[in-house]
Amino acid sequence: MRYIHAILSQDIAFFETRTPGSVATNISNNVNLVQGGLSEKIGVIFQGLAMLVASFVVAFSQYWKLTLVGAAPFPATIIGVGVTVAMDARVEAKILDVYSKAGGIAEETLSSIRTVTAFGAVEKLRKRYDEYLETAKGFGMKKGPLLGIQYSTGFFMMYCVYSLTFWYGIRLLVRGQISDGGKVVT
């Protein structure tokens, strides 16, 4: 509501620099992002946090030294994934801006289709729309490597933690500090 109020409080010059419909498209895209964030992502975040806390509680109850070794790379994982998430958010914002401009052209064209057809501007407007979509595609192509780095960093750190924890757990088992291999697996 504050977003809509802020838009409606703008001077008329603000709307003159925008294509007709780009503001409405922007509102629609942002509302969809908020809805997606509130509906799905909040549940995933709570599930992930609950799993993280529960796994640490179980791990500390089994053998605290082994848990500390396994938790050591955790900050590096958070930093690695956090950096790529921030970069991905910037690219996504650029994509939404381009889609907003493309949506403005589409809405403007459709709302005045008779005039556009009468002046033979259909092809010119279609070409501008396609240019915006190509720009968005270019930004979208940048997201692929970012997501690849994000997921590869997360999985690399996860498998490093597995190997480090199993290596240290086997050493503790051989020394007799852990009674059985089940504690290492847990």
pLDDT per position as a tens digit, 90-113: 998 898 888 888 888 888 888 888
Q: What is the pLDDT of residue 21?
A: 67
End-to-end alpha carbon distance in the chain: 48
Task: Flag whether the pTM goes above 0.85.
Answer: no
pLDDT per position as a tens digit, 111-159: 888 888 888 888 999 999 999 999 999 999 988 899 899 899 889 988 9
What residue numbers bound the domain in which 58 lies? 2-185
- Banded model confidence at residue 4, pLDDT cuts 50, 70, 90: confident
Q: What is the C-alpha to C-alpha distance for residues 84 and 151, in angstroms, rounded to an integer?
A: 9
The tally of domains found in the chain comes to 1
**Is residue 172 predicted with pLDDT exceeding 80?**
yes
Confirm if 146 and 88 have CB atoms less than 8 A apart: yes
CATH assignment of the domain containing 105: 1.20.1560.10
